[in-house]
Chains A and B, each alone.
Chain A
């Protein structure tokens, strides 16, 4: 080809690249026309490359076409996380453009034909290659300086080890000594399944440690010990992955290790850009671990699909080699959120540093972040870094939860058996025997406590995980949020901790998304620019209390009601109390977000939260003040295996009502009872109208029980109170919970079974189901006949119960006008 045309093409390529770089730096993920333009240029470049390998090398062309394809997916809306994908795309394009510009720009550069570079492997569309560069002119072998940079870069990027920049690449004949990372399909041996399982579990723990450590390093970037803390888990994961031949993970962690090593040796300042890079590596690592975990479910599937790591590895190598500035990458990303640059919600900035912000990105609100300092200080919180916790050399042992559960079951039975023995008449009457049995009792109680304690885990780490969430979410939302935590030593049952994680995440997200206002609004409202989210855990009244408090704009009952009416959840004429209005947010499909962001607002959050908490046999209540903030209080029982319950009798059957739900019990006076035409009976308790539920009728056990001659138990039910009419209150008891099995899981009002003190089974009641069943009965006008079951009582007759069919009709209302009671 003639030089002339060559130069033309070269300059065309140059201009395309520069247009590309400029445009993509300018637009955002939503700018479809901009994206389309860039896409067009990409195609043009690829086209040139088809005919002119000198102007656009094969590798470059390939890279561009890969990027173009990703662009297409973005334009078509097929990408899940548009903004992030776009940011990465942009970074990749800018990098490519920069490299090409450098290569093309230098007059004397000569760099050789592309080296090694194998392209894509196993049909993945990710950008597997590193550096392009070559053959722009047939000039001499002497590499020009720019050429050197590019070529050397190529050389370095390729091998697995670090070589100092500036090393002359071998000439066109020899392939580069370093090869770009080429991922290989991962195959695991089913025989190694135990090892892999162990790896996945431990890797998760290490990732958690990493996330906590990253935020620590961000707070104190100069602290070498903290960088060490960050380095170590990566190193451990690398080792484990290497052992199991998990190449992707191994290489990825190796690269990040190298980067961190530079940091701890002082060769690199750990800027915010570096932190972001490390965090994105962590995300990728999580995906990798997840893909391995998925293999565990189908060990014989063969090849495992893994998220591509090659690009990340290349990026890391580029950063390590100094060819890429992590902060530039980061700017690209953070330029995205509109408006204010976000504050990293560093966990309690008791130390007023937040210095990391200073150097990296255009975060003018850095000073604002410091205002978080004084406001955080008063709250007596411990910094998110648990000072005490990971003591090196902590002796611990991993135990299968099944074994623990079996142990606890047995201990439960032991307690019952021992109780029976100690209550038996023969023991009581014999003093010596009695003493011995008391001794046994004491020991059994100790064993019970120990067994319970074994499952208890402090909630601290769960709260710590929120730190990263707060950082990410507040950034995305363009708000400043400071997270503080207290009571992280509070211990909960392991299962509870696992189940409470997701609900907490939802609620924290909501607090930031919906609760905390934007910085401008906050200032207008006279609040500090940085919002506060506070997580607290503690014991209260024999239960665990977890609360999430924000100082945002609070809940507005009017808005909630309006939204609910709009969604058809309630009718316009319904009257709701403030609490009931708050409870609306738990209705499925409810959401007041006018704009669905990718983090919340889809209306699937809070009802799932409520369900999770109900399953834990807990309660959630809302306290809010418009303009001031909202607090969610979650109350949970201490353990899942044993429940503190009130044993009650209805007919011949005994039920257990969890004490956590009981507010009080009483025998009302007849004057306090009102009958309502469609709703049965209502109790007037100091002005509050509480619907009465006839358990005997509901379960088909007895006829109507007169509350005034028996007992009414007032219980909590989804933020309201209901009254359960029972025949007798037998007493409070701690009972061991047993599952009824899947066959019985959909029973309304029954949440499980328990073995009572005498070994018999008692069903555990659950108020919201009872209320729902009661409402249903009332509205359809039928009572739940137990199909021949009632009064199985005295004789075990199976014949149809004579008393059943002539039951009195529903109470006719008295002369009083019917009272409308909102029973939602």
Chain B
């Protein structure tokens, strides 16, 4: 699989959708009843939920680490990161391994399929007021009658609170 590096939004956080072609293939998954999508090029693999070794003194959403063929990678619980209540894992729960500069895993309820979404079908994220941070949403993708929230997975996983992981030990 070739690795393409997609343009990053400008550092001020504004998304220049107009200058950026968001069309492409997205892997979609569910958290509760909401559907999300991630650029397929960032996805390395999908594995079923497995034993996760907990790491103490880390934020809530950091579930722990797993052994991925010899590499130890951190795993994030996306539900917790998005403020959703925790739920039991079942046989549909998956870990999506993404490459955001480093390998990380995210836990999702179910994985659906890969949709090819043309940029014409992608709209900028809704302005929901300052209470909701939408900086990590690339846009809203329309597939038939469904709307998928397309995530900027880099933003999601490399945001400030993850950097704050460093300081946990010093607390």
Chain A residues with a Cβ under 8 A of chain B: 409-410, 412-413, 653-654, 698-701, 736, 738-750, 753, 755, 759-763, 769, 773, 784, 786-789, 792, 795-799
20 residue pairs A–B, Cβ–Cβ below 8 Å:
A410-B70, A413-B69, A654-B53, A699-B57, A701-B56, A739-B72, A740-B74, A741-B72, A742-B166, A744-B55, A744-B65, A747-B58, A755-B72, A760-B67, A784-B57, A786-B56, A792-B54, A795-B88, A797-B88, A799-B86
Of all chain B residues, which has the CB nearest A786? B56
Q: Which residue of A lies closest to B73 (CB)?
A: A741
B67 and A755 contacting across the interface, CB-CB below 8 Å: yes
Most chain B beta carbons < 10 A, residue from A739, A741, A760, A761: A761
Partner among B54, B72, B88, B89 whose Cβ is within 8 Å of the Cβ of A740: B72
| Nearest neighbor of A754 in chain B, beta-carbon distance | B72
Task: Report the bound CA distance from A755 to B53 in whole Å.
Answer: 11
Given A738-B70, A760-B53, 11 other A-B contacts at CB below 8 A? Answer: A412-B70, A699-B54, A699-B57, A744-B58, A748-B57, A749-B56, A750-B57, A753-B65, A753-B72, A773-B57, A784-B56
List the 10 shortest-distance A-B pairs measured between CB atoms, nearest first.
Answer: A798-B86, A746-B169, A699-B56, A761-B53, A738-B72, A747-B169, A413-B70, A753-B72, A796-B89, A748-B169
Whether B71 sits at the interface, judged by CB under 8 Å, is: yes
Assembly CA distance A736 to B67 (angstroms): 12
Q: Which residues of B contact A759 (CB under 8 A)?
A: 67
Q: How far does the alpha carbon of A661 sit from the alpha carbon of B69 in the complex, in Å?
A: 29
The answer to whether A763 and B89 touch across the interface, beta carbons within 8 angstroms, is no
Q: Report the bound CA distance from A436 to B65 in whole Å.
A: 35
Decide: B167 and A746 in contact? CB cutoff 8 A.
Answer: yes
Query: Which residues of A lie under 8 Å from residue B53 when comparing CB positions?
Result: 653-654, 753, 760-763
User: Given A753-B65, A759-B67, is A743 in contact with B165 using a C-beta cutoff of 8 Å?
Assistant: yes
Q: Which residues of B contact A738 (CB under 8 A)?
A: 67, 70-72
Q: Which of B66, B74, B88 interacts with A744 by CB under 8 Å?
A: B74
In the bound assembly, the distance between CA atoms of A699 and B58 in angstroms comes to: 10
With an 8 A cutoff between CB atoms, is B12 at the interface? no
Chain A residues whose CB sits within 8 angstroms of the CB of B64 once the complex forms: 761
Least Cβ–Cβ distance between A405 and chain B, in angstroms: 12
A545-B72 Cα distance, complex, nearest whole Å: 31
- Of the listed residues B54, B85, B102, the one surrounded by the most CB atoms of chain A closer than 10 A to its CB is B54
Distance in angstroms from B73 CB to nearest chain A CB is 8
Q: How far is the CB of A186 from chain B (nearest CB, A)?
A: 36
Query: What CA separation (Å) do A410 and B69 show in the bound complex?
Result: 10
Cα A740 to Cα B88 with chains together (Å) = 26
Instruction: Report yes or no: B88 in contact with A796, Cβ–Cβ below 8 A.
Output: yes
Q: Which residues of B contact A742 (CB under 8 A)?
A: 166
Which of A740, A788, A795 is the one whose CB lies under 8 Å from B60? A788
Nearest residue, chain A, Cβ from B66 = A761
How far in angstroms is the closest Cβ of chain A from B93? 9
Which residues 83-135 in B have Cβ within 8 Å of A in the complex? 85-89, 102
Q: Is the CB of B55 within 8 A of A747?
A: yes
Interface contact B67-A763, CB-CB below 8 Å: no
Tell me the complex Cα distance, A747–B58, Å.
Answer: 8
| Chain B residue contacts of A412, Cβ below 8 A | 70
Asked if B165 contacts A744 (CB within 8 A), the reply is yes
Assess the A787–B60 pair: CB atoms within 8 A: yes
Per the bound structure, the CA–CA distance linking A271 and B163 in Å amounts to: 60
The answer on a CB contact under 8 Å between A653 and B70 is: no
- A797 nearest CB neighbor, chain B only: B88
Question: Residues of A contacting B169 with CB < 8 Å?
Answer: 745-748, 769
What distance in Å separates the Cβ of A157 from its nearest Cβ neighbour in chain B? 58
Other-chain contact of A750, B55, B70, B71, B73 (Cβ < 8 Å): B55
Cβ–Cβ < 8 Å partners of B167 in chain A:
746
